[in-house]
Amino acid sequence: MQNTRLNKLLTFLATEPNDPFILYALATEYNSLNDTAEAFHYYLKLVAEHPDYVGTYYHLGKLYQKEGQPDKAVEIYQLGMQSARKKGDRHAFSELQGAYNLAAGLDYEDD
């Protein structure tokens, strides 16, 4: 089933190679298949070519964290917060800020 979904997404990409939703769906699909190289490829393509596609940053940051690259995750979360702020997307900004705080070790509780 997942292979079928991947094949459909690749077919969509062939007809709409610059559609950010298709790129995002491919990145997410590859991530779910644990193909991190392809997931990174599509997430990074989105950041480079569609920096206003705010949903990318959260998932790319999480992938960097999963791969043991917390500094890269922090950097991506910061870029995402800037993008969300420019778009006026407070919800995305809040989610990215929470992820940033955790990745940067700023999420703490007062005792």
Burial of 31-66, coded b for 16+ CB within 10 Å and e otherwise, reads beeeeeeebbebbebbbeebeebbbbbbbbbbbbbe
Could you read off the pLDDT of 3-35 as tens digits, one per residue?
A: 789 999 999 999 999 999 999 999 999 999 999
Structural domains of the chain, ranges and CATH numbers in brackets: 1-50 (no CATH), 51-111 (1.25.40.10)
Could you read off the pLDDT of 55-107 as tens digits, one per residue?
A: 999 999 999 999 999 999 999 999 999 999 999 999 999 999 999 999 988 86
The pTM for the full model equals: 0.89
Mean pLDDT rounded to a whole number for the chain: 93
